[in-house]
Chains A and B, each alone.
Chain A
Amino acid sequence: MITAVAVLTLLGLALGLMLGYADKVFAVEENPIVKEVESMLPGTHCGQCGFAGCGGAAEAMVRGDASVTCCPPGGRALAQALAERLGISADLSGMASEPMIAVIEESLCTGCCRCYRVCPTDAILGSTKQIHAVFADACTGCEKCADACPENCISMRPEQQTLDTWHWPKPAAA
């Protein structure tokens, strides 16, 4: 009995050490920053950046192949945060200053249901032959619906300001 316990314990220890050693020596190189950047991105995989989903874009950004400004749904705030995380300076001048959201022109909508099927965040409500509507709170402005609409009745507009979102603009420089 004692021999059996000793043998198994020794076996376990030896195998465990071997595994630990192998984990160190044959470790797969994975950039932790890619994971972090991916978690910062919207995660809707809209494809506006030209990469296969947010994971692809994150990899490209970390490699330096993509600009941090390539994500329109994230807007300026995201670009700034990404630039800070990656330690690079970003040229934000080309970006729209405010996030855009989709708006459906109700007089043209035929209720074809194509837009809500492609929406990555389920931000469109509608059913067959009923006018569709966009939940502004859930819309990332990925433009997938605008591309899918056969009536061309979806346009992108800046989010409407409310008393909650309005704030004083920057004072004119002294």
Chain B
Amino acid sequence: MFNKLKIRGGVHAEERKEQSTGQPVRTLGIPPRLHLPLRQHAGKPAEPVVKVGDRVKKGQLIATSTGEDVCASLHAPTSGTVTAIGEVVAPHPSQLTTTAITIESDGLDESLQPGEQLDPMSLTPAEIADRVDQAGIVGLGGATFPAALKLKSGARQKIDTLILNGSECEPYLTCDDMLMRERGEGIISGARLIQRAIGANRIVAGIEDNKPEAIAAMTAAAAPYADVLVQPIPTRYPMGSAKQLIQAIMGREVPAGGRSSDVGALVHNVATAYAVHQALYEHRPLISRLVTVSGQCIEQPQNVEVLLGTPVSWMLEQCGSLSQTPARVVMGGPMMGQILHTTEVPITKGASGILALANPEISKTEPSPCIRCGSCVSACPMGLVPLEMARHAKGDDFDGAKEFGLRDCILCGSCAYVCPSHIPLVHYFQFAKGELSSQRIQSRKGELTKSLAEARKARKEREEAEKAAAKAEKAAKAKAAKEAKERAKAQKAEQAQATQAQAAETEATDAPANEESGS
């Protein structure tokens, strides 16, 4: 069994996890103001269903998923008043804005009345998926893909194993670890609902072996169920990536361009399973999440449960003072997280951690030329050739980079981590992927404008034809009118003639009568 448990490539970075696991998860209070971006999931933005000035209660739907699209609903994390629906700075390295609903909390934390109580395990798979959709649950591991869609597609395909992702391979981050330690039963209960929704035969919880407490807690929670297995897996980054996890647990490789379901597996994060449990058993939509607050600049690294929409700055204040000004603030893990240029941004559904990093923690070494040592090739978990991909991206040859597997790159950063020349390899791949996507956008726009131009041309031609037809009709009408007039004139003349003739006739007939009378 254990000979399967390895992944190709990968790195073992310094973990730095023990700082934030020293104390239990703390629930933070209610911030004075919450900003909830309409899009904090993969896909289209949600449609707001509240207006400025509306009073909302905790758990009330404030933006709804838009029909068949990839989208997730949004709920009010606490009670208060909607004060704005407008642009706020997004938690994104671009510092661009995004549309968000701003709620000013009233501190009462008044909840909605819970709906009907029934045993969630008696629901049909489709009903479970619908409730997950209504609760606005997305993949909480970081990809933020709407969970309901995954359940629906899982129900259509043949899934034999539901894998619970508890690997949490990123350094620093411990929110999943703490969740497993403290709320293992909720995770297993949520996972059994997911299992029911997709019709999987068994559940395997993959947990990296650097989390013995979490493994013990999860094993205890899974003990009553024969089809739930807790599987310790080796600690190696990026074990938390779905493809790597499937390979480690099932020994099957997801084909290039394929999905987990192609090998009969579905991967859900442990936090997502817990959110499903909360939604169905406690009638609580996704309105909060666990966030790891860590880094050298944080005096007391810890895990906190925060409401979605809480400003990062407010959250950091609540976690105690910063020991020094951070050199870099990152949302997510240090390997794949997003750099934040400001802390005046809200916590979103995908925010697993806020790291305030000091200078010694970040690499600022100037890159030097590639020496073609091949370290990146052996580190790549997807079996790609990062040095060649970067070379092509550098020369703006994006199709060349694609040939070396750019599309299969998961941007895990293992290559850049091991590069002795400190080449920003992932940065090159981000750039190349971005260029390819803008080319796609451009060509889509080209197709749209072309069809618009053709439609306009067709319309112009039709209008011309209609005009000509109308003109011809008018002319014909005029002609007909003229003819009718002429005919009428002729008729009149005829009539006049006829009456004249008649008159003459009567005169003529009268005359003999006169004659007769005269005679």
Contact = CB atoms under 8 A, between A and B. Distances in A.
B455 A122 contact: yes
B92 interface: yes
Contacts of A138: 448-449, 452
Which of A43, A162, A174 has most chain B Cβ within 10 Å?
A: A174
Contact of B448 (A75, A137, A164, A171): A137
Contact of A43 (B90, B428, B453): B453
A99 B441 CA distance: 12
Contacts, number: 86
Interface of A is mostly: loop
A168 B427 contact: yes
B428 to A, nearest CB: 6
A38 to B, nearest CB: 11
Interface string B76-96: 000000000000001011101
B49 to A, nearest CB: 22
A165 B427 contact: no
Contacts of A169: 431
A138 B450 CA distance: 9
Contact of B367 (A162, A163, A164, A174): A174
Interface string A126-166: 00000000000111100000000000000000000111111
Given A77-B439, A163-B94, A174-B423, A168 B449 contact: no
Contacts of B443: 77
Given A137-B448, A171-B431, A166 B96 contact: yes
Nearest to B442: A77
A123 B94 contact: no
Contact of A165 (B423, B424, B438, B452): B438
Given A140-B449, A171-B427, A120 B96 contact: no
A43 B447 CA distance: 9
Contacts of B438: 77, 165, 167
A43 B450 contact: yes
A42 B430 contact: no
A137 B445 contact: yes
A78 B446 contact: yes
B127 interface: no
Contact of A174 (B421, B435, B441): B421
B505 interface: no
A75 B442 contact: yes
Interface in B39-75: 39
A122 B424 CA distance: 44
A121 interface: yes
30 contacts: A42-B446, A42-B449, A42-B450, A45-B453, A74-B446, A77-B438, A77-B443, A120-B453, A121-B449, A122-B455, A123-B452, A137-B448, A138-B449, A140-B449, A162-B96, A163-B96, A165-B441, A167-B433, A167-B437, A168-B93, A168-B431, A169-B431, A170-B428, A170-B431, A171-B427, A171-B431, A173-B394, A174-B368, A174-B421, A174-B423
Given A77-B443, A122-B456, 10 more contacts: A42-B446, A43-B453, A77-B439, A120-B453, A122-B455, A123-B449, A139-B449, A163-B94, A173-B394, A174-B367
